[in-house]
Amino acid sequence: MDAPGDGSKIPYREEDGTVLFESYIPPSRDAVHLPTYALYLLIAVIILLGVLYAIIGHLIKDLIHDFADWLLGEQPEEVA
């Protein structure tokens, strides 16, 4: 049986009477759809935090070494 008035020749029922796509369930979509700009902004923030962590972490490491040198005195291999 074809759909009445439909120009296409795609049957909605098989010849034996079973309906096509009777149990079709559309694929589920993700619960959260991020716009493209939000995704780019999130990536930029992650990169920025990584760079800041690298810079500030290096400065804090140098500060701790300077504080240890002041507190304990310079180590012999550091004296030049």
Q: Tokens 């990169």 correspond to what residue?
A: 47
Average pLDDT score over residue span 3-20: 59
Residue 9 has pLDDT above 70, yes or no: no
Q: Which two tokens stand for residue 78?
A: 């550091």
Average pLDDT score over residue span 3-31: 64
Residue 62 has pLDDT above 60, yes or no: yes
pLDDT band at 11 (very low <50, low <70, confident <90, very high): low
The full set of domain ranges for the chain reads 30-68
Q: Under a CB-based contact definition with an 8 Å cutoff, are residues 12 and 5 in contact?
A: no
pTM for the full model? 0.44
